[in-house]
Structure 1
Amino acid sequence: MTLQSRSHASALGYFKWAFVVTSAGLALGGWFGWQMTGTIGGAASIFFICCVLAVLEISLSFDNAIVNANKLKDMTPKWQKRFLTWGILIAVFGMRVLFPLLIVVIAAKIGPWQAVMVAASQPEQYAAIMHDAHLPIAAFGGTFLMMVGLKFFFDHEKDIHWVHALEEWASRYSSIRGIEIAIVLVIMLAVSRFLPAGEMTVFIRSAVWGLLTFLVVEVLSGILDMKEKALSGAAKGGLGAFVYLEVLDASFSFDGVIGAFALTQNMIVIAIGLGIGAMYVRSMTIMLVEKGTLSQYRYLEHGAFYAILILSVIMYMQTLYHIPEVITGLAGAGLIGVSLVSSIRWNRKKSRAELQSQA
């Protein structure tokens, strides 16, 4: 059964599995807290942290769900199903569990098993390593997301504009090859000037790797989808789109994973909380595709990509100042909310115009 073939379900129906995972995850969190502390207060504390982490992940991932839906609606049914099964496993276990361990392995120059032991027995040291790795992560993720956002607006085929003057200007100059890369490099160099010499080198190197990763993923996605098209005769996305979405999800998850360490240093609790949030992102993605929400609300996608650009700038700014995660989450959700309201107003205006023309 494909996404398009399912009947129109109620909004709550799309979140059935998210509710199941929430119940199981929070129960597991409470039980884990009891096992750790042996007290009701300890169990309640872990339960509460899992709830906060889930809300944090959801608030940071509204734009992720919209971008996923935009790419997913053009994928073949086979790859849609694979992304919503394999993809969610990679998102939950790969990015929320294995990714922090990989950072510790690289930053501390230790083996994977040693990293697991540090996470289990020395959570404070584990959190300190993650905190020290925030600079290169923010530079890498911020650059990748900035390219994603700019690529949407610098498109000569884009004919729907929300912030009309700005987006029309971007569309007009999109024919200049490499203009997005030039903008990112200018911002990258400007931000790096405010960093100490040692940190400047790390920032620029990590940002360049983020830029290179985006370009490689773009090329790889194109090559893989061309092969898929040659084999199936279909012009829809397959493996290339899958790879693109997985790397994109990784970039989105950087902020949530780093922010989680402000609440707890226990990787099991982090995995439970962020994993619950990831399931809601999956459910939102399915709902957006099946209900055709992106076509019903013409500016919703614009709001998501503005939120991506804001998130990328915030990740850059976090290398200079501490910015609370609540600001990051509210900024993205607020932009999407405003774009939704603008879309509703446009729909009403269009309906009135159609009624007047019929009269």
Structure 2
Amino acid sequence: MVLKTFGWAFGFTALGLVAAVFYDGWAALGVVAILTVLEVSLSFDNAVINAGILKRMSAFWQKIFLTIGVLIAVFGMRLVFPVFIVAITAKLSPAKAVQLAVDDKDQYQQLVTDAHPSIAAFGGMFLLMIFLAFIFEEREIKWLGWIERPLAKLGQFEMLSVCLALIVLLIASMTVATNAHQHGGEHADKAQTVLTAGLAGLITYLLVGGLSSFFENRLAKEADAQADAQVIPQREPEGEKTPGRSGNGGPSIVAVTGKAAFFMFLYLEVIDASFSFDGVIGAFAITNDIVLMAIGLGIGALYVRSLTVYLVRQGTLDDYVYLEHGAHYAIGALAVILIITIQFQISEIITGLIGVVLIGWSFWSSVRRNRRIAAGNARPSDMV
């Protein structure tokens, strides 16, 4: 199972390390290895979030996620995206941006650093919306009930998450954005840039996430209607289920296909893009060579993708029910960190550790819950 799921990651690792040695000697191998570890440590919570979405998709779209999706993640986000950002923010042609990345690495690094406020605002707002949508949703299983219960009640107010996100963006534009960090320790007023990029992140979330939810809900209604048509007007024997129904009488989980799966796939790609921002920016602390950066971060991204599929196939999120909670709290923390880094520099070690601690805590809470259930000492909330 491990070899089948991680086989491509292992193969690409070997190929990438060999390519790094041929490209710039043995020192490059160490750089690529460090970048790989950086990407995996920063994106483990990304794998958990992706798994929660991917498990609802059909086998075909899961394969698309691992093939075409990997190409987008490795070459698109880790190689093309930084060049694209430089071209837009510096008002250069893509060809000129590529030339800078290859021939003038220091200038290229400076331009990427100067573009960080817009990158952080876009990614921060997108991730913040994911966190707010999760924390304001009423759900049966709660991890930190003393926080989640009152917030779920507040979530009954329509558009609350959007209003809060806009408030955060407005505050950021009037505080950290007015003294944004730039290359060489300089600071500049980037209030308008942060506002524009933040609104773009919010609109992207509403558009892609909304379309995905719309088609998914329509698919669920169609499946529910088909199940209702098959219901026999008699009481079902104990232990049997009507096809298309779950054990509690609600609609069964339907593998998402078609347009719903397509927009869900796009949603996954945007999530991956938002998570990759801090990795790409943090990578410049290790190297400004775009080739080594693409190899190292690309290998890490492939491991994250493989880990996502592994979590789905093993049913890990069903066995350890608080993992999704921990991952979403880590997303909320990352969103806040991205916004703060518009002005202040925060070590990638701190960013990675926060995510690891939150997910580790949620995993241990899940283990304790499972032990209580097995011992027959579970609380009512554990049995939900």
- For normalisation by structure 1, the TM-score amounts to 0.89
Encode CA deviations 1:251-290: one digit per residue, 9 max, x unaligned. Answer: 1111111111111111110000001101110111111000
CA distance in 1, matches of 2:145, 2:156: 18
Q: Where does residue 151 of structure 2 map in the other structure?
A: 170
CA distance in 2, matches of 1:80, 1:227: 20
2:12/2:299 contact within 8 Å kept: yes
Q: Where does residue 47 of structure 2 map in the other structure?
A: 65
Unaligned 5+ segments in structure 2 are 180-188, 227-253, 379-384
2:124/2:334 contact within 8 Å kept: yes
Please tell me the root mean square deviation across aligned C-alpha atoms, in Å. 2.0
Q: 1:301 aligns with which of 307, 319, 324?
A: 324
Unaligned 5+ segments in structure 1 are 1-8, 34-42
Encode CA deviations 1:284-304: one digit per residue, 9 max, x unaligned. Answer: 111100010001001111000
Q: 2:339 aligns with which of 308, 311, 316?
A: 316
- Are 1:241 and 2:264 counterparts? yes
1:123/1:265 contact within 8 Å kept: yes
CA distance in 2, matches of 1:27, 1:160: 46
Q: How big is the shift at 1:29? A: 0.8
1:223/1:240 contact within 8 Å kept: no
**Equivalent runs, 1:95-174 vs 2, <5 Å:** 95-156=77-138, 158-174=139-155
Residues 1:165 and 1:208: Cα distance change in structure 2 (over 3 Å): same
Aligned amino acid, residue 32 of structure 1: Y
CA distance in 1, matches of 2:363, 2:222: 39
Residue identity over aligned pairs, in percent, reads: 44
Q: Where does residue 14 of structure 1 map in the other structure?
A: 5
CA distance in 1, matches of 2:134, 2:348: 25
Residues 1:227 and 1:171: Cα distance change in structure 2 (over 3 Å): closer
- SS of the equivalent of 1:74 reads coil
Q: How big is the shift at 1:119? A: 0.8
Q: How big is the shift at 1:206? A: 1.4
Q: Where does residue 186 of structure 2 map in the other structure?
A: none
Encode CA deviations 1:114-152: one digit per residue, 9 max, x unaligned. Answer: 111111111111110000000010011000000011111
- SS of the equivalent of 1:238 reads helix
Report which of the two structures shows the higher radius of gyration computed on alpha carbons. Answer: 2
Residues 1:327 and 1:12: Cα distance change in structure 2 (over 3 Å): farther
CA distance in 1, matches of 2:26, 2:219: 50
- SS of the equivalent of 1:61 reads helix
CA distance in 1, matches of 2:121, 2:61: 31
- For normalisation by structure 2, the TM-score amounts to 0.83
Aligned amino acid, residue 127 of structure 1: Q
Q: Where does residue 21 of structure 2 map in the other structure?
A: 30
Q: How big is the shift at 1:17? A: 2.2
Encode CA deviations 1:63-121: one digit per residue, 9 max, x unaligned. Answer: 11111111111112221111111111101110011101101110121211111111111
Q: How big is the shift at 1:231? A: 9.9
Q: How big is the shift at 1:219? A: 2.6
User: How many residues are paired up?
Assistant: 336
CA distance in 1, matches of 2:171, 2:160: 17
Encode CA deviations 1:33-55: one digit per residue, 9 max, x unaligned. Answer: 1xxxxxxxxx2221111011000
Residues 1:230 and 1:338: Cα distance change in structure 2 (over 3 Å): closer
Residues 1:349 and 1:141: Cα distance change in structure 2 (over 3 Å): same
Aligned amino acid, residue 61 of structure 2: W
2:66/2:306 contact within 8 Å kept: no
CA distance in 2, matches of 1:131, 1:77: 40
Q: Where does residue 370 of structure 2 map in the other structure?
A: 347
- SS of the equivalent of 1:162 reads coil
1:137/1:206 contact within 8 Å kept: yes
Encode CA deviations 1:192-218: one digit per residue, 9 max, x unaligned. Answer: 332327322221221111111111112
Q: Where does residue 334 of structure 1 map in the other structure?
A: 357
CA distance in 2, matches of 1:122, 1:298: 48
